[in-house]
């Protein structure tokens, strides 16, 4: 049960290092929002090219937990949808695959923002 | 002081008591930028990278533990367990943001706290809380998507492009 935790640590850590280098080494002001957009978009592109799945096979959660993994999920869904339903599936597949994540984020985000009050 | 002396040298002026004050006030924006760039400390890249690796790695390992748990004890398939794990991490990230803990994690771990899906939850809750006083529609409801909106826009648009490209390639 624990054999896959170390690979998750290493792969996940390395993906986060890429984000840190983006923020520290680029001249333009790269905010966390930019980093997240860059990660999700690269995840979709890498996933579409079939280059992200090997990373998931090696790193497990180390590749799926970073936001690039969400991008990969969207791409895999769009491809699966295109295979099954053609053009219409290409439209619906991505959001269908990402639905659990999006719904969880909206629900939990909303409830937390309602229950808690800003600190300071 | 050294910076100011260099500035005088560059302008070809002598630095003495009588003209010591004005040039530091009448800096051109370009000179000001040069000086602040030189004085402000360089980000400690190596330390930031190590902390990002450790914090990001820990969050992902915790995600893996959750996924293992869902697979072994609730009988979910691998893909369902991954979804459940992601949803749990989002809940955790949102709660820790509400409690004011997640901001400290980001301060320590930098991108290690931002890039995982917990950081995505943080990017939603944080502005929603901050603008709560603007009401439940434009405050909470709107600001939830300050960062999540762009992420969804670029993620969904790119995924549709990927799906359509795949259909077109398969057409031939």
In terms of CA atoms, which chain B residue is nearest residue A71?
B155
Q: What is the pLDDT of residues B48-59, one digit of tens each?
A: 999 999 999 999
* B31-53 residues labelled b (16+ CB within 10 A) or e (exposed): beebbeeeeeeeeeeeebbebbb
- Decide if A42 touches B, using CB distance below 8 A: no
- pTM assigned to the model: 0.84
Answer with the residue of higher pLDDT: B115 or B170: B115
Alpha helices in B12-144 (DSSP H): 22-25, 29-39, 45-73, 78-98, 102-109, 111-114, 117-130, 143
Number of neighbouring beta carbons within 10 Å of residue B25: 6
Tell me how close the Cα of A54 comes to any Cα of chain B, in angstroms. 15
pLDDT for res B31? 75
Number of neighbouring beta carbons within 10 Å of residue A1: 9
Cβ burial of B132 (10 Å; 0-12, 13-18, 19+) is middle
Domain ranges of chain A: 5-115
Tell me how close the Cα of A104 comes to any Cα of chain B, in angstroms. 6
- Which letter does DSSP use for residue B43 in this model? P
Residues of A in contact with B121 (CB under 8 A): 105, 108-109
- Decide if B126 touches A, using CB distance below 8 A: no
Q: What is the pLDDT of residues B73-112, one digit of tens each?
A: 999 999 999 999 999 999 999 999 999 999 999 999 999 9
Question: Are A70 and B72 a contacting pair at CB < 8 A?
Answer: no
Domain ranges of chain B: 2-39, 46-128, 131-172
Q: Of all residues in chain A, what percent carry a pLDDT higher than 90?
A: 89
Prediction ipTM score: 0.94
Minimum-distance CB partner of A44 among B63, B100, B158: B158
In the three-class reduction of DSSP (H, G, I as helix; E, B as strand; rest coil), residue B79 is classed as: helix
Mean pLDDT across chain A: 94
Q: Of all residues in chain B, what percent carry a pLDDT higher than 90?
A: 71
- Decide if A105 touches B, using CB distance below 8 A: yes
Q: Which of B117, B114, B81 lies closest to A65 in space, CA to CA?
A: B117
Q: What is the pLDDT of residues A52-103, one digit of tens each?
A: 999 999 999 999 999 999 999 999 999 999 999 999 999 999 999 999 999 9
- Decide if A2 touches B, using CB distance below 8 A: yes
Rounded to an integer, what distance in angstroms lies between the CA atom of residue B117 and that of residue B103?
14
């Amino acid at each position: 049960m624990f054999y896959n935790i170390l690979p998750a640590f290493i792969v996940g850590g390395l993906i986060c290092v890429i984000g840190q280098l983006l923020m520290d080494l680029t001249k333009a002001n790269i905010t966390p929002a930019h980093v997240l957009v860059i990660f999700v978009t690269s995840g979709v592109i890498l996933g579409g090219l079939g280059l992200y799945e090997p990373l998931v096979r090696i790193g497990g959660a180390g590749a799926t937990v970073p936001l690039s993994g969400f991008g990969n999920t969207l791409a895999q869904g769009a491809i699966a949808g295109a295979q099954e339903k053609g053009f219409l599936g290409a439209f619906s597949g991505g959001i269908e695959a990402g639905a659990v994540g999006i719904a969880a984020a909206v629900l939990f985000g909303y409830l937390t923002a309602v229950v808690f009050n800003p600190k300071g | 002081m050294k910076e100011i002396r260099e500035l005088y040298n560059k302008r070809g002026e002598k630095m003495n008591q009588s003209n010591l004050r004005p040039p530091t006030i009448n800096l051109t924006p370009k000179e000001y930028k040069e000086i602040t760039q030189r004085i402000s400390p360089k980000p400690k890249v190596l330390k930031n990278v190590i902390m990002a690796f450790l914090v990001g790695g820990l969050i992902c390992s915790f995600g893996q533990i959750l996924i293992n748990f869902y697979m072994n004890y609730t009988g979910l398939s691998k893909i369902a367990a991954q979804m459940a794990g992601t949803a749990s991490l989002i809940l955790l990230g949102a709660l820790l943001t509400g409690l004011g803990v997640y901001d400290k994690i980001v301060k320590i771990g930098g991108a290690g706290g931002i890039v995982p899906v917990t950081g995505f939850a943080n990017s939603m809750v944080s502005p929603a809380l901050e603008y709560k006083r603007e009401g439940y529609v434009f405050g909470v409801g709107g600001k939830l998507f300050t960062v999540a909106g762009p992420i969804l826009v670029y993620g969904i648009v790119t995924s549709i492009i990927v799906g359509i490209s795949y259909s077109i390639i398969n057409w031939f």
